[in-house]
Chain A
Amino acid sequence: MKVALKIWRYDGATGEKALREYEIEAPEEATLLDCLDIIKDRHDGTLAYRKSCRMMICGSCGMRMDGAAVLACKTRMAEIAASGHVPVISAMGNLPVLKDLVVDMTPFWQKIRAVKPWLDTGYVEPPEKEFVVPQAEMDVIHKESLCIMCGCCVSECNSMEADPDFLGPAALAKGFRFVGDPRDRATVERLQAYSDEHGIWDCTRCYFCNERCPKGVDPRDAIAKLGAEAMREGIDSDMGARHAKWFVTSAKTTGWLRETELVPKTQGVVRSLKEIGFAMSLLRRGKVPPPFPPHVAKDVDEARQLYELVEREGHEGARGIVQLEKPLARLERHEAGYEEAAARGPYGPGSFPKPYLPGENESTEEGAA
């Protein structure tokens, strides 16, 4: 097939930029990475990009196609080529470009290092017996363990664009991989460190990281799990945590968000007093609803009692964060007729292999090493 690409070429030494178009002949099954290899081998040896495994394991070939971060080795070109569209390939965002599609990953690695990405077992000499972790507990950090540190999430992070010091989705997801590990003994220290100014509460919930991650890590969900764990440990003095807590207080008292009190509850009375002028400008337009009489939801007693019940049941912390891949996969399998297929047996006509879903075999694998 004929594949046409436009590539942003960049020379870090001179700062020169140019958008070059290439048209190549490539096999039907070619990925974006295959196409770049063909360009480099046969058309233009000066093109710079990173690659290694060619099979979505090493995380080297993160780059942007039409502005969206992708792994070049995971991106097939046949449909795009057939549509006649000429995609624009460029380096990832939020990282300095060195040459063409190669970014300087130093800031990325600095942040990974900052979250102490190793298991802190709390002992020097290993104990007599190995530490056996139940499968159910590893399932909590299953997704975060899949990260290949390609940087696609970081490339698109809206908060990091606004605050380059933000630890960001990759480092925080890595952090949760250890916070959620029952063998780690530094949970509280980690949560305190991750709750600093450029940590958990810097996340603006734009969900670009979940959208872009080529491995299904869902870093935004990992950040929510860190928030949930931090609050469970009582590490909740950051304005972001206080903001979140006020929603709970609102729901279990009036049912609806008590909007006007949200500012002093988040920022503290002293700081919010500085906002009086701004608040007045909003007040004039009816944007500051009076807190009295409160806007109370009908049958709010149900919401209050639910809170008591939930507290007693104790499903708090990271385990409570909705893990969607399981229900979504079940729903998809249902829609795809999986259950009927499964009933016919594994090798019958119309059957297809059963994907492994974390937590499915909890009862049988509990306690297995």
Chain B
Amino acid sequence: MRKVAYYKGCLASLSAKELDVATRALAPKVGLELEELESVTCCGAGDIHEAEPDYYLHLNARILAYAEATGTDTLMTVCNVCTLNLRQANHALKGDEALLARVNDNLVSVGAPAYSGSVDVLHFLWLVAAGEGYELLKRAAHRGLQGLKIAPFYGCQILRPSKLLGFDDPDRPESLERIIEACGGEAIDYPAKVKCCGFPIIQAREDVALAELVQPIEQAKEAGADAMVTPCPLCHLSLDAWQSKLRKQTGKDFQMPVLHLSQLIGVAAGLSESELKFKRHVVSVEPVVEKLAV
């Protein structure tokens, strides 16, 4: 078992609880022992970085410090936006001694642990798409996806900027495809799988966001996908919950089920409904479940 500090972030704590439940249920099957971080806050989602940049750095340093205090070298995330925000802060702090010293002084003065810079921030996807995690995943996915056609949707902030993320080629990523195939599914290829779902501006600029959101869903549908899968709960929220708004805008009712990555692997690994919580999705996952039951 590889012990990792688990930072679930805002969405998996509340509106995307199903992601947290499925990830916890799946973790031991793919060799991960999760130590959940409790004394942590929101990473700021890019918004605090823009509104109060220095506060963003301090909040993220505090998360990294609490992760380090667990004695592990890995902080595991389940959200693209958390991944980018934490990795960005981590690099900034590790690469600038004066900055790290100033932030640490402040952390210690409010009673938080100091951060020495020993933690690596890794998304759950990266832990199961390569190395031992991938070998264990292949074994765990015994139930399989029976050739189900799955459209991988990466989301932006797990690919770009690649100098900070760097696990996949930002234009030709293949980690999700590898996982889909290891689970016995067929990965669908379509151009918008590396594009934006529109979520960051879905409240402030809904029309613009929906014009972005429609592309991956429409292309996945046209390519014959039974479902989409994403490693990001923000992408999941827009792809799943905002799909109904596309009906009004485009006149098309896509009815495209969208799975969290942990759920997709979980299905293949035979997790129960109480561990997958598909009932929490807005677009019904029933057609997928039915296909697999046959």
List B contacts of A301 (CB < 8 A). 110-111
Q: What 10 pairs across the A-B complex have the smallest Cβ distances?
A: A327-B95, A320-B53, A162-B211, A207-B160, A239-B204, A255-B41, A206-B196, A247-B47, A257-B10, A299-B39
Whether A245 is near chain B, meaning CB under 8 Å from some CB there, is yes
CA–CA, A149 and B205, complex, Å: 27
CA–CA, A66 and B245, complex, Å: 32
Q: A221 → chain B, closest Cβ, in Å?
A: 9
Q: Is the CB of A303 within 8 A of B41?
A: yes
Partner of A251, one of B41, B50, B94, B106: B41
CA–CA, A326 and B96, complex, Å: 8
Which residue of chain B is the closest to A221 with respect to CB atoms?
Answer: B161
List A contacts of B222 (CB < 8 A). none
Q: Is the CB of B209 within 8 A of A204?
A: yes
List A contacts of B244 (CB < 8 A). 278, 281
A interface majority secondary structure: helix
Give per-residue flags for B36-73: 1 if the beta carbon is below 8 A from chain A beta carbons, else 0.
00111110111111111111111100100000000000
7 contacts between A and B (CB under 8 A): A158-B196, A207-B161, A211-B160, A244-B47, A244-B48, A255-B42, A327-B96
Q: B239 → chain A, closest Cβ, in Å?
A: 13
Q: Is the CB of A287 within 8 A of B241?
A: yes
Within 8 A of A (CB), among B185-236: 191, 195-196, 198, 200-201, 203-205, 207-209, 211-212
Partner of A163, one of B40, B91, B157, B208: B208
Which residue of chain B is the closest to A312 with respect to CB atoms?
Answer: B106
- Do A240 and B208 contact each other (CB < 8 Å), given the known contacts A297-B41, A300-B41, A302-B111? no
Partner of A315, one of B41, B54, B208: B54
Whether B162 is near chain A, meaning CB under 8 Å from some CB there, is yes
List A contacts of B110 (CB < 8 A). 301-302, 305-306, 309
**Residues of A in contact, count (CB < 8 Å):** 83
Within 8 A of B (CB), among A231-274: 231, 238-248, 250-252, 255-257, 259, 262-263, 266-267
Known: A302-B62, A324-B91. 9 other contacts (CB 8 A): A211-B160, A242-B204, A247-B47, A251-B44, A266-B204, A306-B62, A306-B112, A322-B53, A329-B95
Most chain A CB within 10 A, of B41, B161, B207, is at: B41
Q: Is the CB of A324 within 8 A of B164?
A: yes
Q: B37 → chain A, closest Cβ, in Å?
A: 9
- Do A204 and B208 contact each other (CB < 8 Å), given the known contacts A158-B196, A320-B53, A328-B91? yes
Q: Is the CB of B53 within 8 A of A316?
A: yes
Q: Is the CB of B91 within 8 A of A259?
A: no
**Residues of B in contact, count (CB < 8 Å):** 75
Residues of A within 8 A of B (CB): 66-68, 158-159, 161-163, 166, 201-208, 210-211, 218, 220, 224, 227-228, 231, 238-248, 250-252, 255-257, 259, 262-263, 266-267, 278, 281-282, 285-289, 295, 297-303, 305-307, 309-310, 313, 315-317, 319-322, 324, 326-331
Q: B121 → chain A, closest Cβ, in Å?
A: 14
Whether B170 is near chain A, meaning CB under 8 Å from some CB there, is yes
Partner of A204, one of B51, B56, B161, B201: B201
List A contacts of B170 (CB < 8 A). 211
Which residue of chain B is the closest to A257 with respect to CB atoms?
Answer: B10
CA–CA, A300 and B41, complex, Å: 8
CA–CA, A251 and B47, complex, Å: 11
CA–CA, A313 and B46, complex, Å: 21
Q: B10 → chain A, closest Cβ, in Å?
A: 4
List B contacts of A252 (CB < 8 A). 55
Partner of A326, one of B45, B52, B95, B111: B95
Partner of A238, one of B91, B204, B241, B281: B204
Q: Is the CB of A240 within 8 A of B54?
A: no
